[in-house]
């Protein structure tokens, strides 16, 4: 490819990204997936962009972000769509009919909120974990990504992002655990973990 052609194709790619907005993934076994996404929400709100944060699995959790984002409600809307935690039995996730029903409802709700909206940033927190529990398919996640308005960025979080999602994303970050206070018996700390 000559230089001129290559420059043209880079330009087209840049234009595409500018028009369509970026797809970002925060994954990995370390802490920081959700909080990094919240950091982007703060940044976007600072530029007066409308932000929608939908939290899957999480429900009825009194997190600090839920409270502090009330101060920024003009720009940032945050909703917990889950019912708490997935239960475990003999060390394995124990998925109930309620979990399945909730996953369906949250997918339909998210779809409606994203389609024809004017959000500049959409955060689908823990959505990759719904996939890990087989409560939603990759196809459905792609459907949500494609429903976002033109120019809007979208951030997906959750551990073990599959290659198929990594392939379609523009920025993928893997949080890698080096150590966690939990291993010293220190339980979830207010202001750090929630
Ligand atoms: P954060 O919300 O702090 O950014 P996260 O989104 O990366 O964390 P999640 O998998 O959503 O992590 O876990 C939610 C909570 O569990 C976080 O408060 C986090 O500190 C805690 N956590 C994450 N990894 C571990 C671990 N290996 N052991 C114990 N607790 C953990
Ligand atoms: Mg998280």
Q: Kindly report, residue by residue over 25-38, the tens digit of the pLDDT.
A: 999 999 999 999 99
- Is any atom of ligand 1 closer than 6 Å to the C-beta of 180? yes
Among residues of the chain, what percentage have pLDDT more than 90? Answer: 80
- Is any atom of ligand 1 closer than 6 Å to the C-beta of 170? no
**pLDDT at residue 2 is higher than 90:** no
- Is any atom of ligand 1 closer than 6 Å to the C-beta of 55? no
User: Which residues have C-beta within 8 Å of that of residue 162, sequence separation ≥ 6?
Assistant: 131, 138
Mean pLDDT of the chain: 92
Q: Residue 116: its pLDDT value, please?
A: 94
Distance separating alpha carbons of residues 6 and 185, to the nearest angstrom: 55
Name the token pair of 183: 């291993």
- The band of 12, judged by pLDDT with boundaries at 50, 70 and 90, is low
Where along the chain do its domains lie?
Answer: 1-76+178-194, 78-175
SS3 content of the chain, % helix, strand, coil (to 5): 45, 20, 40
Distance separating alpha carbons of residues 108 and 186, to the nearest angstrom: 38
- The band of 85, judged by pLDDT with boundaries at 50, 70 and 90, is confident
Pick the CATH number of 78-175 from 3.30.470.20, 3.30.1300.30, 3.40.50.150, 3.40.50.300: 3.40.50.300
Among residues of the chain, what percentage have pLDDT more than 70? Answer: 93
Distance separating alpha carbons of residues 14 and 20, to the nearest angstrom: 10
Q: What is the mean pLDDT of residues 128-147?
A: 96
User: Which residues have C-beta within 8 Å of that of residue 171, sequence separation ≥ 6?
Assistant: 22, 23, 24, 25
**pLDDT at residue 1 is higher than 60:** no
Question: Measuring from atom 13 of ligand 1, which residue has the nearest CA?
Answer: 31
pTM over 0.85? The answer is yes
Spacing, Cα 93 to ligand 2 middle (Å): 17
Let me know: does 58 contact 82? Beta carbons within 8 Å: yes
């Amino acid at each position: 490819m000559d230089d001129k052609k290559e420059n043209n194709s880079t330009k087209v790619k840049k234009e595409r990204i500018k028009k369509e907005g970026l797809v970002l993934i925060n994954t990995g076994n370390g802490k920081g997936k959700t909080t990094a996404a919240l950091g982007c929400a703060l940044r976007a709100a600072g530029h007066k962009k409308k932000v929608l944060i939908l939290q899957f699995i999480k429900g009825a959790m009194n997190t600090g972000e839920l409270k502090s984002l009330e101060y920024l409600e003009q720009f940032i809307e945050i909703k917990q769509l889950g019912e708490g935690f997935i239960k475990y039995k003999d060390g394995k996730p124990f998925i109930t009919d309620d979990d399945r029903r909730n996953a369906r409802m949250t997918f339909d709700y998210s779809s409606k909120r994203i389609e024809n909206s004017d959000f500049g940033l959409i955060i689908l927190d823990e959505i990759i974990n719904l996939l890990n529990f087989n409560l939603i398919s990759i196809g459905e996640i792609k459907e949500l990504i494609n429903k976002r308005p033109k120019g809007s960025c979208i951030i997906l979080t959750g551990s073990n992002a599959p290659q198929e999602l990594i392939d379609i994303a523009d920025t993928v970050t893997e949080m890698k655990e080096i150590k966690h206070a939990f291993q010293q018996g220190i339980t979830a700390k207010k202001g750090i973990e929630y």
